[in-house]
Amino acid sequence: MRSTSFAGKYLSKLYVQVLIAIVAGVLLGHYMPDLGAQAKPLGDLFIKMIKMLLAPIIFASVVVGVARMNNVHEAGRVGFKAILYFEVASTLALAVGLIVVNLFKPGVGMNIDPSHIDGAAIATYTQRAHQQGGALEFFMNMVPNSVVGAFANGEMLPIIFFSVLFAIALARLGKPVEPFVDMLDMFLQGMFGVVRIAMYLAPLGAFGGIAFTVGKYGIGTLASYGQLIVCLYLTSAVFVFVILGLVMRMCGLSLFQFLRYIKDELLVTFGTASTESVLPQMLVKLEKMGIPKPVVGLVLPTGYAFNADGTAIYLTMAAIFIAQAMNIDLTLTDQLVLLGVLLFTSKGSAGVAGAGFVALAATLASMHKIPVTGLVLLLGVDRFLNEARALTNLVGNGVATVVVARWEKVLDLKQARAVLERGSALPVDPPVGTTSDTTSVPAASLSKH
């Protein structure tokens, strides 16, 4: 009886269910590849369910967060600190990727002839890359042609841009609009309730995503591109455990405890290769850690668009790998120019599976040094690489939110340490329609620092 209740206790945990689903997906994809490749709709369905909630959740989170700062200057200060941290972290990630790929040279010896590569397989990616344009186009795309269109298409950057403007307008109006902000907060709690329902499908989504990956590309793909995969995973691990670990230590918290706290989100991200699938849960968990809602609501969604540490590592390593495989000699100047271009093209690709591939195509297209057709070399292995960059992006954005809160002196360290040591948050399911008041630092206190 005791063993039954013990097993039931652990099987009821989301991370255990997702872990079992991932193992089952690998086995199905390996031993029954045709059936595994057909499991893709299961992963797509789960991501689609979460994506349908992202636009309203991002809008409500940003608006409630910024509007409750009661001061436009506070919002500007928090936003500036967040962007500054994002740029420093992304640059470090790009540099680390550049150093490792030059040290291990995973592409050397492949001797690929660019003229023998068929670029038809990557036509979709190159077309989207040309549409992405340069830095000017990136900033132009932040402003939506239509607010309704941005919400309908789930375009993260335009939604955040509009949400910040709307929140600033509400903050300037002050007390008369407080009931409306409270109503938006209740709406946000309702959306989180829907997310909790959708998360019952997380194991199914992880199973479908992994089964499809292994079934379509085969585990043998891992062996043929082993050096590149090992380099990327090793570099991502170094960045997370050394650089982000040091950053968390400077904030007075343990990275290992933080990773244990978000283990459910890490496993779902690994299974679906998308950080979008766990954005709503991350918003809730960071707030319950003792970070005020205004900071979480502004920094985390913005980080999804601007802070792609894992994607930055992947982009540098993948670009240099293609050059090495094609015996293209890149000077130090060429590589520094590449790093500068990547600072722009890596933005906006943090959340969506496969978006990093489009960013890489845009980078190569703008460089004119490395043939865009070289992307064909990565097609079979990109999905395996995507898990590493998605996990790094997720941890990077969680740490970024902690950093900005600590920088603003509004992080409740006592509560954060208590939650992380316990490994779980306080009441997981607050009644829908009520606000979750788990932080001992009120939003208004932001104005005192």
* Domain assignment of residue 168, yes or no: yes
For the stretch 25-61, pLDDT in tens is: 888 988 898 898 888 888 888 888 887 888 888 888 8
* Domain assignment of residue 237, yes or no: yes
Which domain, by its residues, includes 54? 2-69+79-428+442-448
In one-letter notation, the amino acid at residue 116 is H
CA 88 to chain centre: 17
Using CB atoms within 10 Å of the CB of residue 169, give its burial: 0 to 12 exposed, 13 to 18 middle, 19+ buried. Answer: middle
* Domain assignment of residue 433, yes or no: no
Q: Residue 243's CB: how many other CB atoms inside 10 A?
A: 17
Low-confidence ranges of the chain (pLDDT < 50): 1, 121-122, 125, 350-353, 426-445, 447-449
* Domain assignment of residue 338, yes or no: yes
* Domain assignment of residue 436, yes or no: no
CA 98 to chain centre: 21
Distance CA 190, CA 193 (A): 5
Joined together, the tokens standing for residue 169 give: 């307008």
Residue whose C-alpha is closest to residue 142's, from 184, 83, 61: 83
Q: Are 232 and 68 within 8 A, CB to CB?
A: no
- Residue 336 sits in a domain whose CATH number is 1.10.3860.10
Structural domains in the chain (count): 1
* Domain assignment of residue 186, yes or no: yes
First-residue to last-residue Cα distance in the chain: 55
* Domain assignment of residue 437, yes or no: no
* Domain assignment of residue 31, yes or no: yes
Distance CA 346, CA 362 (A): 10
